[in-house]
Amino acid sequence: MIGLVRLLGLLPLGLTQRIGRGLGWLLWLRRTRSREVARVNLALTAPDMDTAERDQLLKKTLLHNGMTGAEMGVFWGKNTIDVLSLIRRVHNAKLLDDALADSQGVLILAPHIGNWEQLNTYLSNRCQITIMFKPAKNPLFDSWMRQRRQNTGATLVPTTAGGVRALFKTLQQGSVAGFLPDQEPERRSGVIVPFMGVPTLTPRMPHELLQRTGARALMAFALRRPDAEGFDVHFLEPDADIYSKDADVACTALNRSVEQVVAMAPEQYQWTYKRFKRQPDGTPSPYKAAGVP
């Protein structure tokens, strides 16, 4: 896997994305886990969408999913200057500038859309950032992946108690922390609130980080431009209720903020992730019900 990523890193972005689109076509043509998970997710979140339109979105999703995988070589195999040169425009950069100029901490909330590795490189070039990540199952690949990501200047902490303490400390010191707000937590670490009209186990950690540190939150993401033109980085203010003292209200606002991001490029969102696996008590997993492989 490491050798393949390195090989892809030798190729120009256009060729890498064409390879990724080919991988996406394979995911679309066969009854793969990725295709069926995305099919279930889109049926749940867009029940009123015409079936043909939904299938078209599903196909585009898998093509972008393939490109995201193939682009790993670009972001982990090239130097920082080359990666930054792929950014064509930064939207609402003043939001980040103002947040960094303030003495309070900044919590960057980065949904799984476009290519978050491009976003990581941009942010690491702008500021010292501590990012929570889920370690890979293979220790060798995990070590290599962590090294490549930290080469950009980011500090990575795992999804453990120690990692959580590191995020709190970072924000309390007035620095920048990054968190992926659309990953499903353990039941004890989340609340079930709506996401795109579906009851969804949502991480409570952003709420706790903001309440206990007084940090400011920003939504951030990097979207893929057409025809291998590169990427645009975006910053958005989250829903104001994200600062509510009530965890349910704050987590609902977090999900509304992610919805706003997804609406900008739904085909680039990671619909292939089992976001709705843990439903309220007594409700079966929609993936099991659909016989997802």
* pLDDT digits 0-9 by tens, 98-128: 999 988 999 999 999 999 999 999 999 999 9
Q: What confidence score (pLDDT) does residue 158 get?
A: 87
Instruction: Please report how the helices 247-264 and 205-213 are oriented relative to each other, as an axis angle in degrees rounded to 10.
Output: 110
User: In DSSP terms, which residues pair with 130 in a beta bridge?
Assistant: 155, 177
Range of the domain at 111: 2-289
Number of domains in the chain: 1
User: Is residue 50 classed exposed, middle or buried when 0-12, 13-18 and 19+ CB atoms within 10 A define those classes?
Assistant: exposed
The CATH number for 147's domain is: 3.40.1130
For residue 241, what is the DSSP state? G
pLDDT value for 9: 82
What are the pLDDT digits (tens) for 66-78? 999 999 888 887 8
Backbone angles phi, psi at 180, to 5 degrees: -90, 110
Residues of the chain with pLDDT under 70: none
Alpha-carbon distance of 204 to 89, in angstroms, equals: 32
pLDDT at 225: 97
pLDDT of res. 109: 98
pLDDT score, position 148 = 78
**Residue 191 contacts residue 78 (beta carbons within 8 Å):** no
Q: Which two tokens stand for residue 291?
A: 């016989």
Confidence at residue 3, expressed as pLDDT on a 0 to 100 scale = 84
